Chain A
Amino acid sequence: MERIYHQRGPRISAGGKQMKLEENLRRRRENKEILLMTHLVLGYPDFDTNREVIAQMVENGVDSIELQIPFSEPVADGPVILKASQESIDHGTKVSECISFAKEMVEKWDIPFLFMTYYNIVFKYGEEAFFKKCAEIGITGVIVPDIPPEMGESFYQFAEQDGISPVLIFAPTSSDERMEITGKCSRGFVYCVPRKGVTGTKSEFGEELTQYLARCRKHTSLPLGVGFGIQSRADVEALIGKADIAIIGSKTIKLVDEKGAASVGPFIRHLLGEK
């Protein structure tokens, strides 16, 4: 497969730096109405299945993938990701294995990969060491929902230092003042949560969402990603023109549970409006 980086500009590997997440997403967005980001829990049901699922995702047109390093106390996650995280940890998934696996995926596939995890995993690894490792293996961004800007001075400094984009979250309960703060601190894109609650429950994509996303737009110039509850092509279509990235979380995990890794490709094509 021809590497986009090579076509479009330098992927500077000598200094351990590569195209920043935001730039990469913007280039992809140039010829697409909306980007598709997917997610999986590392080591669930096992790394071999992860490999297969990622191949299905990339080959069918996914623009970016979140790799979730499982944590035993995933407070922001609903039942599907919670169960997947637990099972992964129970059968012995280690952070070091997640990192090796991510390295392998980055080398193999030409899309930006992000780590999603919780702060304790980063904290125990060591903030500085973690971001250095991300840079070394080519991870471009991180989503860590429990390290708000005011608690994470060193976290955000180390991320910046190593050119890793920390993606922050807008919530419907966020005030304008709050969005200014999180918007400034975020890199790559802003993850807009369309409703209250945890991952994996259906969201309503109506007028309220349109207004909310318009408000999000006012507070950041970064691309807007919308996650939490996107399950069908109609949901993705509802976001076109209002957001830049549709993020699919627990839906694909459920799909793999029920129908196996091979069912992911057709589902991705459905989301992209292809037959």
Chain B
Amino acid sequence: MNPPTEDGHYGRWGGSYVPEVLHDTFKRLKEDFAAAKADPDFWREYVELMSTYSCRPTPLTFAENLTRHFGGAKIYIKREDLNHTGAHKANNVIGQGLLVKRMGKTRVIAETGAGQHGVATATMAAKFGFECTVYMGEVDVLRQRPNVFWMEKLGAKVVPVTDGSRILKDAINEAFRDWVTNVDDTHYVLGTACGPAPFPEMVSWFQSIIGIEARKQILHYHHTLPARVYACVGGGSNAMGIFQGFLDDDDDVELVGVEAGGHGLSTGKHASRLCSDDASPGMAQGYKTMFLQNNDGQMLETHSVSAGLDYVGVSPILADLNDKKRVRFESATDVEVIEALNLTMKKEGIIPALESSHAFVQAFKEAPGLPKDSAIIINQSGRGDKDIFTIAHALKDPSWKEFIINEAREYQQGESK
């Protein structure tokens, strides 16, 4: 992958538009990150820690039943769900944790949408002994209660953000406000390949471990490169992670990013920045990219069944790869996502997160049309079983509903005693 320009641009996108208070902090962060990146011992320590504290390398699973079901390309699934804390988020967070140690800071803050990044950050903070505050939109706090519970049990302070649309972008704004106030001892562990430079590069670098492994694994099992690689795209970190293993194979491997189509692109209720007509170039949250915004430049409300993809912007690196036609972008609707999730559970005994299920949708659409001797990889960025409340609700499962009602009744009775 080409490095960004000196000032953090990828083609027309990216850059580092930070408030003056943070200017010197970013300067130091850029220097410290560059030094860490150039130090082979740093990467070695990272890989070592990921193999003992998380489950790296994560397996590449051949989905035999799904392959037979669709009758086309061999379907392989990269199992980021088997990371500690259940998603690829751990890669970035542990990497940044090592960087924080190197920089000598003692407090970390993070934003979170689905809660995965928040849980991962709280976990990392517990392990490294950092103080930790996580900002989470109030809407997301409500729909991801179990993750809030774990963050708090892990010792983090969770702050519900009640401004704006009360989702991921608002949590990012609030984390920035914390950072400008507590810049001396605090590092902001940004959760995705967005934000001001050097974050897109940094997060993508830590996530590149996915692609490095996946490339080795597919060559081992399939003896040749995959025809296509699929990843869901919210901010874009899991996609950047797996794509980097294949970016240089222009002629052989097609890369497909799948955005949240919500209720459908024509309804306006979605979070598709690169494959809808509702996004346009803009600059917010410290970087330039395609944003879902109106003609005045005000950000629009986004919608997705998955909190982790419910975001107005997208990685500047992916926006650039879109310009260069190196990555093709598609979208999957909420309804399609639930169908793909159902099928994957039944056929393979694997439960992808709602976010990851977007990638499965597109792969399932295309697999039948590909030759049987070809292979495709789907990046399963996270596990779905922790989303039991959301998924059970989305599946409209009657016995689950009854269980919740009974539980609630028991709590109410318990309190009245």
Contacts and interface: CB of A to CB of B under 8 A. Distances in A.
A binds B: yes
Interface of A: 71-76, 78-79, 82-83, 86, 89, 94-95, 118-121, 123-125, 145-148, 150-151, 168-175, 178, 182, 193, 196-198
A173 B183 contact: yes
A82 B173 CA distance: 11
B338 interface: no
Q: Chain B contact residues: over half helix, strand or loop, or mixed?
A: mixed
Contacts of A151: 7, 15-17
Given A170-B20, A196-B183, 11 more contacts: A72-B164, A73-B173, A75-B173, A75-B177, A86-B163, A120-B282, A145-B19, A150-B7, A173-B25, A193-B21, A196-B21
B17 A123 contact: no
B285 A73 contact: yes
B65 interface: no
A125 B297 CA distance: 8
Contacts of A147: 17
A120 B284 contact: yes
A146 B21 contact: no
The 6 closest A-B pairs by CB, nearest first: A124-B297, A197-B181, A171-B21, A169-B20, A120-B297, A72-B298
Contact of B299 (A72, A174, A196): A72
25 contacts: A73-B299, A75-B19, A95-B297, A120-B291, A120-B293, A123-B297, A124-B296, A150-B7, A150-B16, A169-B20, A171-B19, A171-B21, A172-B21, A173-B20, A173-B21, A174-B20, A174-B24, A178-B23, A193-B20, A196-B181, A196-B182, A197-B177, A198-B177, A198-B180, A198-B181
A76 B181 CA distance: 10
Interface of B: 7, 15-25, 163-164, 169, 173, 176-177, 180-183, 280-286, 291, 293, 295-299
A81 to B, nearest CB: 11
Given A73-B173, A86-B163, A86-B164, A121 B17 contact: no
B23 A174 contact: yes
Contacts of A145: 19-20
B180 A197 contact: yes
Contacts of B21: 171-173, 193, 196-197
A148 B24 contact: no
Most buried by B among A89, A95, A197: A197
B380 to A, nearest CB: 32
A175 B264 CA distance: 49
Most buried by B among A125, A171, A174: A171
A117 to B, nearest CB: 9
Contacts of A198: 177, 180-181
A120 B280 CA distance: 11
